[in-house]
Amino acid sequence: MNELEPLIKSKNSLEEIPVKNRSLQFQNLYMHTCSLIFTKCNHNIIYDYIDIDVEKSKQICYCDICYLTIDADFICNFLLFNLDSELKEIWKLHVGNFSYPLKNIYKQNNTVKLSIISDNNKISTFDFNPEDFIGCSVYQRVVILN
Ligand SMILES: [Zn+2]
């Protein structure tokens, strides 16, 4: 049986508890569920605009199969949840044929920022769109982007 459908059901069920009322363990279970969905779903990405107020609207990106919102917030949480924080000193980022020591992960506006140490021993920061992480793999201390 396909695991995706029960996972989506369980995500929906977990969302019945408002974020502010969730215990840490509950939030971890929720994040684990979302993270499995993110890696298992063959996402069909939809771009939409939501109104923030009468004059402003912002673009959102979601999947119409699993209904995950793929934004910088989610991706940063996903990466930090799946990387082992105790191994932070030896985190690595693989992009194509390149591999860099990965120093930091943060978001700015809706951009995912990955700070790495480049060949000349300087800290550089790569900017990614949240959608760039669809299909990425995270193993313990390594982020692999295709
Ligand atoms: Zn999906």
Same domain, 63 and 102: no
CA angle 134, 139, 142 (to 5 degrees): 85
Do 36 and 20 sit in the same domain of this protein? Answer: yes
Q: Is the pLDDT of residue 1 over 80?
A: no
Distance 42 CA to ligand 1 centre (A): 6
Query: Are residue 12 and residue 41 in the same domain, yes or no?
Result: yes
Residues 78 and 55 in one domain: no
Ligand 1 center to 31 CA (angstroms)? 15
Is the same domain home to 2 and 54?
yes
Residues spanned by the domain of 78:
72-146
The residue behind tokens 């943060």 is 106
Asked whether the predicted pLDDT for residue 52 surpasses 90, the reply is no
Number of structural domains, the chain?
2
Give Cα separations from 9 to 19, 25, 87 (angstroms). Answer: 17, 19, 33
Alpha-carbon gap, residue 55 to 146, rounded angstroms: 38
Q: Could you tell me the maximum CA-CA distance found in the chain, to the nearest angstrom?
A: 49
Q: Is residue 140 located within the same domain as residue 82?
A: yes
Protein residues near ligand 1, an ion, with CB under 5 A: 41, 43, 63, 65-66
CA 145 / ligand 1 centre spacing (Å): 18
Q: Tell me the CA–centroid distance for residue 12 and ligand 1, in Å.
A: 14
**Domain final residue pick, 70, 93, 118:** 70
Are 65 and 106 found together in one domain? no
Q: What is the pLDDT of residue 146?
A: 81
Q: Taken in order 109, 65, 80, 32, is the CA torsion positive or negative?
A: positive
Do residues 65 and 83 share a domain?
A: no
Residues 33 and 80 in one domain: no
Statement to judge: residues 57 and 84 lie in one domain:
no
Predicted local confidence at residue 126, as pLDDT: 95
Domain boundary among 70, 86, 110: 70
108 membership: H or E segment, kind and range: strand 98-108
Asked if 42 and 8 sit in the same domain, the reply is yes
% of the chain residues with pLDDT over 90: 85
Domain limit, last residue, from 53, 70, 87: 70
